[in-house]
């Protein structure tokens, strides 16, 4: 069931999202070679707690950390570890949410560390563009969920990149994950509800430098590309208001 939020609820979600946007801005330029993914996670945890929030992902369905921190071929859900060290040339995707007074936010950024290869820089750039293409699809009259996936897929495919199909965006706001699911591709077999005022959704392209294929690792969380090539991940929480889509997780 898709939960339509009231203006009061959207305002609460907005506050959570703005705090999360501040967290991501604070990490920009601070993820450097030699850091462990555990250190990145601690920075996220301390920021959230300092500002009166709770890490939304911590212990969610058993996840053991505040943030999913995924390096290079790790697409999503990387578990932070003391011995997982960031190196020059890596890309690091950080995905997390905040529970602020019962209102949930969700966002992801991919950070480039040091001397990143040009083709990987392009991957990060195009993935972020895919996110905004998906958000832009919400401006169309009578748009539906699959309009988002179509915009994301076409831009990624046009640039020669793979699109992850097994994982997708989702509703958010009163819980970490809500209906509807928001794929990054189009399928006539998938639900295609109309976008309505009051919806709050997380749009999150997961784009691969190589093919579409992925593998779930034995830790029960980490997802990697099947061909071992890098992947990028960008995500925003977006509210559908009377004035159109509002990107809540950006300053």
Over its C-alpha atoms, the chain yields an Rg (Å, rounded) of 17
What would the two tokens of residue 59 be? 């212990």
Of 231, 163, 234, the closest CA to residue 202 belongs to: 234
Extents of the domains making up the chain: 7-247
Q: What are phi and psi of 62, to 5 degrees?
A: 90, 0
Please say whether the beta carbons of 199 and 174 come within 8 A: no
Does the 7-247 domain belong in CATH 3.90.230.10?
Answer: yes
Give first-to-last CA distance, the chain, whole Å: 30
Bridge partners for 232 per DSSP: 207
Q: Could you give the 3-state DSSP secondary structure of residue 139? A: helix
Going residue by residue through the chain, which has 251 residues, state the pLDDT in tens, using 9 for 90 and above: 999 999 999 999 999 999 999 999 999 999 999 999 999 999 999 999 999 999 999 999 999 999 999 999 999 999 999 999 999 999 999 999 999 999 999 999 999 999 999 999 999 999 999 999 999 999 988 999 999 999 999 999 999 999 999 999 999 999 999 999 999 999 988 899 999 999 999 999 999 999 999 999 999 999 999 999 999 999 999 999 999 999 999 99
Q: What global pTM score does this model have?
A: 0.98
């Amino acid at each position: 069931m898709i939960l339509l939020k009231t203006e009061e609820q959207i305002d609460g979600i907005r506050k959570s999202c703005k705090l999360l946007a501040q967290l991501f801005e604070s990490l920009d330029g601070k993820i450097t070679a030699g850091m462990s993914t555990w250190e990145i996670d601690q920075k996220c945890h301390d920021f959230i707690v300092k500002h009166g929030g709770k890490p939304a992902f911590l212990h969610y369905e058993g996840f053991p950390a505040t943030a999913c921190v995924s390096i290079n071929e790790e697409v999503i859900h990387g578990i932070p570890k003391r011995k997982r060290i960031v190196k020059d040339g890596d890309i690091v995707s950080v995905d997390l949410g905040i529970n602020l007074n019962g209102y949930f936010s969700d966002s992801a950024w991919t950070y480039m560390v040091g001397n990143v290869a040009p083709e990987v820089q392009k991957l990060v750039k195009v993935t972020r563009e895919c996110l905004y293409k998906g958000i832009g699809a919400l401006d169309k009259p009578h748009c539906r969920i699959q309009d988002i996936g179509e915009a994301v897929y076409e831009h990624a495919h046009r640039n020669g990149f793979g699109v992850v199909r097994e994982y997708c965006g989702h509703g958010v706001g009163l819980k970490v994950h809500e209906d509807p699911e928001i794929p990054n591709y189009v399928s006539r077999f998938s639900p295609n509800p109309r976008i309505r005022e009051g919806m709050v959704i997380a749009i999150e392209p997961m784009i691969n430098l190589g093919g579409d294929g992925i593998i779930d690792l034995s830790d029960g969380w980490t997802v990697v590309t099947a061909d071992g090539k890098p992947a990028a991940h960008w995500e925003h929480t977006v509210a559908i208001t009377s004035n159109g889509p509002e990107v809540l997780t950006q300053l």
